[in-house]
């Protein structure tokens, strides 16, 4: 079994976590979340009147917009948007403000691995900051499996690229 990683952590050790809320003044709620060098900002706007087409008017709608650090949004970012939307829909009490839309914008500041869990944590913290009614909190962490079968928590970008399997 492996004991140390390139950055000196043990397999079950997380990188330092940092969190701040109410950092964007025009948003209804916002949060910054960092795990090591990975950093994400999340902003919440709403609930605003009206839902998107094909949405249930009896429930609130959650819209997620993923903004990469640079360049255009690609296939991976679209998948992250979908996973984040489903996660947030599962924790929000959507019947309190029917026929409304709450927008969650996620801005990637730096990606050094475990990006999706970092974004989930930031978005959840921003929803709390905005006062959006939640059933419970979502908390996410990434784990990976090395070639030798060792499970490691919170991999860096370099570690993710070497892994057999990586799950957020």
pLDDT at 165: 60
Q: How many domains does the chain have?
A: 1
Task: Answer whether residue 95 is part of any domain.
Answer: yes
Token pair listed for 54: 């094909």
Taking phi first (over 0 means left), then psi (-120 to 50 degrees means alpha), and beta for anything else, what does residue 79 get?
alpha
Which SS3 state, helix, strand or coil, does residue 158 take? helix
Task: Answer whether residue 96 is part of any domain.
Answer: yes
In the chain, % of residues over pLDDT 90: 71
Task: Answer whether residue 65 is part of any domain.
Answer: yes
H/E run at residue 121: helix 115-130
Task: Answer whether residue 151 is part of any domain.
Answer: no
Instruction: Look up the CATH number of the domain holding residue 79.
Output: 3.30.230.70
In the chain, % of residues over pLDDT 70: 95
Task: Answer whether residue 167 is part of any domain.
Answer: no
For the chain, give me the number of helices (H) and strands (E)?
3, 8
- Provide mean pLDDT across the span 7-30: 94
H/E run at residue 46: strand 38-49
Residue corresponding to tokens 């397999």: 11
DSSP letter at 124? H
pLDDT in tens, 82-129: 999 999 999 999 999 899 999 999 999 999 999 999 999 999 999 999
**Domain span holding position 106:** 17-138
Task: Answer whether residue 149 is part of any domain.
Answer: no
Q: Give the span between the Cα atoms of 55 and 44, in whole angstroms.
A: 19
Task: Answer whether residue 168 is part of any domain.
Answer: no
pLDDT at 148: 81
DSSP letter at 14? P
Q: Give the span between the Cα atoms of 142 and 116, in whole angstroms.
A: 8
């Amino acid at each position: 079994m492996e004991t140390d990683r390139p950055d000196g952590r043990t397999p079950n050790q997380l990188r330092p976590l940092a969190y701040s809320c109410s950092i964007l003044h025009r948003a209804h709620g916002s949060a910054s979340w960092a795990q090591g060098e990975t950093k994400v900002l999340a902003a919440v706007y709403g609930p605003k009147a009206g839902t998107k087409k094909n949405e249930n008017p009896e429930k609130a709608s959650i819209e997620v917009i993923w903004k990469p650090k640079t360049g255009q949004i690609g296939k991976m970012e679209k998948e992250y948007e979908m996973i984040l939307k489903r996660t947030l829909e599962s924790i929000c009490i959507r019947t309190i403000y029917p026929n409304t839309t709450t927008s969650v914008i996620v801005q990637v500041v730096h990606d050094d691995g475990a990006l999706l869990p970092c974004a989930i944590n930031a978005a959840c913290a921003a929803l709390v900051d905005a006062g959006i009614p939640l059933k419970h909190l979502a908390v996410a962490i990434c784990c990976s499996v090395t070639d030798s079968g060792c499970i490691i928590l919170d991999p860096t970008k370099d570690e993710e690229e070497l892994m057999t399997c990586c799950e957020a």
